[in-house]
Amino acid sequence: MALNPEQHILDQGLLDAQLELWHNTFGYIKSMALKSALDLGVADAIHHHGGAATLTQIVATAKLHPSKISCLRRLMRVLAVSSVFGTKHSADAEAVYTLTPASRLLVGSANMVPVMNMLLHPILVSPFSDLGEWFQQELPDPDLFKLKHGNTFWEMADHDPSYNTLVNDGMVSDSRFLMDIAIRECGGVFQGIGSLVDVAGGHGGAAQAIAKAFPDVKCSVLDLEHVVAKAPSGTDVEYIAGDMFESVPPADAVFLKWIMHDWSDEDCIKILKNCKKAIPPKDAGGKVIIVDMVVGAGPQDLKHKETQLMFDLFIMFVNGVERDEQEWKKIIFEAGFTDYKITPVLGVRSIIEVYP
């Protein structure tokens, strides 16, 4: 049968379109493959063997049944094509799996496993199965998380100790990773400050990093009572129980890391107004330091853009929003501040200095 060239082009277009749908449909498989690698301790197993291991070696060290070795091969192929792990072949042609820059963040004492465990936990993932239903309901209530679980994210953290621990461990993990880079890349932001309060700072991962790098800065953390009650002792950081919607303790600078994206414009303006009351005027060194996303800022490659936009969709689970510069400018000025400076040095996130 003769091939019609025009029909062939149309057919290939249909198949390409189907591929695009399938590629997006099975995107969650990558997430769940990563989660299973965390659950099984695959990165630790490879690290245990010097950064490169065969399937047999991984099975011997990781938490899985030896009968699943063929299934593990299929899992590792997905994780390798996703660049979570690398792959090469030994002299006898057996596949050897290696750590990549991404999976190296999953091993060692300062690993990012706690924050990945939080983001991939079924409690946070499952609400998105109801995203279509949520879009049919009027804002603001219920948020996506409450629609699924009957409680808000904050209520669940307040009432479920194990979930509260999961969240706080995740935030400390992220702060430990990000703050070291922030201090190296943009340490001048914290110079000349005599005191700093980390608002909604959880267990103080960010504040402890700042205090260690700048011993002359008196650092404190403001958070809710149930969070402060579980804060670590024996640090240079003071923990203060309180509510950022009511007041913020006085300091030269207020620090807000990964907080503002959780809240509506109205709530953010209220938080910023309380921050403004807590700091001295600009000519006396007062400022608010925000670490959050500025959509469109930073590297312009597709992976950065896509990650920012996916995170914006993700944060809708608490009716939050990732803002572009104009959206940030709006809430900053409506809160009574006069100027701001955005420094996009933290990958998909930026440092925003806000001046009274």
Backbone angles phi, psi at 264, to 5 degrees: -70, 170
Fold of 113-355: Rossmann fold (3.40.50)
pLDDT given for residue 308 in this prediction: 97
pLDDT of residue 1: 60
Q: What is the DSSP letter of 67?
A: G
Distance CA 97, CA 230 (A): 39
User: Cα(307)–Cα(7) distance, rounded to whole angstroms?
Assistant: 37
Does the pLDDT value for residue 331 go beyond 80?
Answer: yes
pLDDT at 5: 87
* pLDDT for the residue 314: 97
- pLDDT tens, position by position, 138-189: 988 899 999 999 999 999 988 899 998 999 899 999 999 999 999 999 999 9
- Rounded to an integer, the average pLDDT of 315-319 is 94
How much is the pTM? 0.91
Token representation of residue 202: 């959880």
Average of per-residue pLDDT across 264-291: 97
What average pLDDT does this structure show over 188-200?
96
User: Which tops the pLDDT comparison, 92 or 134?
Assistant: 134
Q: Is 269 a residue whose pLDDT tops 90? A: yes
When pLDDT is averaged across residues 124-128 and rounded to a whole number, the result is: 97
Active site residue 261: yes
pLDDT at 63: 84
pLDDT higher than 90, residue 230: no
- How does residue 240 score in pLDDT terms, banded at 50, 70 and 90? very high
pLDDT in tens, 20-32: 999 999 999 999 9
Record the tokens describing residue 95, joined without a space.
Answer: 């596949």
Among 10-24, 152-166, 219-233, the range with the most confident prediction by mean pLDDT is 10-24
Q: What is the pLDDT of residues 43-81, one digit of tens each?
A: 999 999 999 999 999 998 988 888 898 999 999 999 999
DSSP secondary structure letters along 250-289 = --SEEEEES-GGGS-HHHHHHHHHHHHHHS--GGGT-EEE
Question: Which residues of 44-84 form beta strands (DSSP E)?
Answer: 52-54
CA 195 to chain centre: 26
Terminal-residue alpha carbon distance, the chain: 76
How many Cβ atoms sit within 10 Å of the Cβ of residue 104? 16
23, 65, 203, 261: the catalytic one is 261
CA distance 317 to 338: 32
Q: Give the containing element (helix H, strand E) for 86.
A: strand 85-89
Tell me, what's the pLDDT at 325? Answer: 98
Strand, helix or coil for residue 231? coil
Residues 81, 130, 227, 197, Cα dihedral to 10°: 70
Residue 21 makes CB contacts below 8 A (sequence gap 6+) with none
Checking if the pLDDT of 226 tops 90, the result is: no
Domain boundaries, the chain: 5-106, 113-355
Q: Are strands 349-355 and 287-292 parallel, antiparallel or unpaired?
A: antiparallel
Category of 336 on φ-ψ map: left (φ > 0), alpha (ψ -120 to 50) or beta: left
* Cα–Cα distance measured from residue 258 to residue 65, given in angstroms and rounded to the nearest whole number: 39
Q: Which two tokens stand for residue 24?
A: 């997006």
CATH 3.10.20.600 matches 5-106: no
Pairwise CA distance, residues 269 & 260, whole Å: 10
